[in-house]
Amino acid sequence: METTAAKKVLIICYSFSGQTSNLLAGLTNGLESAGITVIIERLRPVKPLRFPFGSVRATAVMMMMTFFRKRIPIAPLSDKCKGRYDLMILAGPTWSYHPSGPVLSLFDRDGSTLFADRTVIPLISCRGYWRMHWFGLRALLQKSGATVVNRIVFTHPSREPWRTIGVFLKLAGRCPERSKFLGKYYPRYGHEKKQLEEASRFGAMLGQALVEGKDLASLNFQTPLAIIRGGGSNQAG
Ligand SMILES: Cc1cc2nc3c(=O)[nH]c(=O)nc-3n(C[C@H](O)[C@H](O)[C@H](O)COP(=O)(O)O)c2cc1C
């Protein structure tokens, strides 16, 4: 009989400004609370990227280049990725409606060896526009031979247009949340505490399903706390 300890999940991730990492901390806690062994592989750009970009111009240039799916070369993967896993989670931010540059480089170099015959759930962190990213990522995974069984998407909670303005200014190195005017509509950059707790709940749910051998496609990760339609609260907390 298989034991709980036999279930292993590999998380391959990239996080530029810490948002995906925050969600993964919650998700990992949840998985581990269900007795799952979690192994994390972080994608490391060969030339480290600095958050924030530092200027409006540098941010605009980066957004333009990433719209055309600019690759960011990454260091070789560790041997952890060669092991056998019950599930792989590929996690990272949306960059100009696409997967981020490091994730695109991962597919170019390692896609078919890494993902062939694997069961994968992508996790996306974004300000709000994830559909094109999801469709593209799913296609890349399927082309690499993976079975994509579900998706986890988290959007930022602030309302539009403040969410877009806030993210842009934050990437440019400004502090919109501290501005007397913008701060009223944009209290923070990124995901809120309740969403990190939701990520933890998702982890526990996923872990339980793995242990019980349930169909992972039947799990509902599309909750109002994860995907906040058109932006949600403008309140802190
Ligand atoms: C270059 C760049 C382009 C982005 N483009 C989008 C986008 O098209 N849609 C979106 O919803 N968020 C976009 N974002 C926002 C990020 O997806 C969002 O801030 C995410 O939570 C960051 O996750 P991370 O901190 O793990 O990198 C972009 C961010 C960057 C740096």
Residue 189 contacts residue 167 (beta carbons within 8 Å): yes
Average model confidence (pLDDT) for the chain?
A: 95
Structural tokens at position 144: 């690499």
Q: What is the pLDDT of residues 159-218, one digit of tens each?
A: 999 999 999 999 999 999 999 999 999 999 999 999 999 999 999 999 999 999 999 999
Q: Could you give the C-alpha distances from 207 to 8, 28, 34, 134, 188, in angstroms and in order?
A: 10, 9, 5, 23, 30
For a mutational test of ligand 1's pocket, the pick from 24, 50, 126, 196, i.e. the residue with the most ligand atoms closer than 8 A to its C-beta, is 126
Q: How far is the CA of 214 from the centre of ligand 1 (A)?
A: 32
Token look-up 């799990």 returns 219
Backbone angles phi, psi at 58, to 5 degrees: -60, -35
Q: Could you give the C-alpha distances from 158 to 17, 36, 161, 204, in angstroms and in order?
A: 17, 33, 9, 26
Q: What is the arithmetic mean of pLDDT over 89-106?
A: 98
Q: Which residues are CB-neighbours of 44 under 8 A, at least 6 positions away?
A: 74, 75
Whether residue 52 has its Cβ less than 6 Å from ligand 1: no
Residue 40 contacts residue 11 (beta carbons within 8 Å): yes
Whether residue 17 has its Cβ less than 6 Å from ligand 1: yes
* Torsional sign, CA 13, 19, 21, 23: negative
Q: What is the pLDDT of residues 1-22, one digit of tens each?
A: 545 467 999 999 999 999 999 9
Q: Could you give the C-alpha distances from 164 to 56, 114, 157, 158, 182, in angstroms and in order?
A: 14, 34, 11, 9, 12
Burial class (CB in 10 A: 0-12, 13-18, 19+), 91: buried
236: pLDDT confidence band, cut at 50, 70 and 90?
A: very low
- For the CA of 16, the closest atom of ligand 1 is 27
> For the chain, which domains are there?
4-156+191-218 (3.40.50.360)
- For the CA of 18, the closest atom of ligand 1 is 25
pTM (2 d.p.): 0.96
Q: How far is the CA of 163 from the centre of ligand 1 (A)?
A: 11
How far is the first Cα of the chain from the last one, in angstroms, to the nearest whole number? 45
Q: What is the pLDDT of residues 36-85, one digit of tens each?
A: 999 999 999 999 999 999 999 999 999 999 999 999 999 999 999 999 99
